[in-house]
Amino acid sequence: MYKRVRLKDTVEVPPRHLADVTPERVKRLLQDKLEGRMDEEVGSIVSVTNVHDIGDGAVLPNRPGVYYEAEFDAITFDPQMQEVVDGTVVEVVEFGAFVGIGPVDGLLHVSQISDEYLAYDGENQQLASTETNRTLGVGDEIRVRIVTKSIDERNPRDSKIGLTAKQPGLGKHGWLEAERQEREAQMEGN
């Protein structure tokens, strides 16, 4: 999910900073340009951490700044298909729950939460089972698997990550703990 990668990109140094083209200045400019952006190859750039090399500057016609190619390290978040991740429910809606996994949210559709029917309780911002006392609400910790991923580099907010919690070992942490305790009690009883 999180990776440290070495990247290259071009950064514009404005005229007022041309006397200060240092790794620290270039790092700040790269952070402003790249942090929070999505890239199909590396995922979401979380942080630019270290600048290793700054190339020669280039001047472009009708542009006030000087452009430098820089080689740098960055921390990225790149969710992988079928990866199991822990997250926190950040919003509950009629059709499911949005789960925060790192710097992005994924959709856990109501049909992918449980085999039980879950009704939407808008007043309490939760999905509630009509068969058991199980609920899933904002702030709940949950273990999910990434099953779909569509990254939109131009509009990162339009990127979509689909999740499931229906497989063994997945679900709300409280449900998993209750199941574990139930198994242990059954084993002690035998």
Q: Where are the domains of the chain?
A: 2-77, 83-189
pLDDT for 36: 84
| Residue from 60, 4, 7 nearest 30 by CA | 7
Share of the chain above pLDDT 90, in %: 64
Quick one: pLDDT band at residue 37, thresholds 50, 70, 90? confident
Overall average pLDDT of the 61-78 stretch: 93
Query: Whole-angstrom Cα distance, residue 116 to residue 169?
Result: 16
Mean pLDDT of the chain: 91
Please state which of the four CATH numbers 3.30.470.30, 3.30.1490.120, 3.40.50.300, 3.40.1110.10 is assigned to the domain occupying 2-77.
3.30.1490.120
- Burial tier of 171 (Cβ tally within 10 Å: 0-12, 13-18, 19+): buried
Residue environment code for 4-37, b if the CB has 16+ CB neighbours within 10 A, otherwise e: eeebeeebebeeebeeeeeeebbbebbbeebeee
pLDDT range class, residue 157, cuts 50, 70, 90: low
Q: Mean pLDDT over residues 4-23, rounded?
A: 93
Kindly tell me if the per-residue pLDDT of 189 is higher than 90. no
**Residues 6+ positions from 161 with CB-CB distance below 8 Å:** 79, 101, 104, 105, 106, 107, 146, 148, 149, 150
pLDDT bracket for residue 132 (50, 70, 90): confident
Using the predicted structure, report yes or no on whether residue 114 has a pLDDT greater than 80: yes
Residue 88, pLDDT score: 97
pLDDT at 10: 95
Q: Which CATH architecture has domain 83-189?
A: Beta Barrel (2.40)
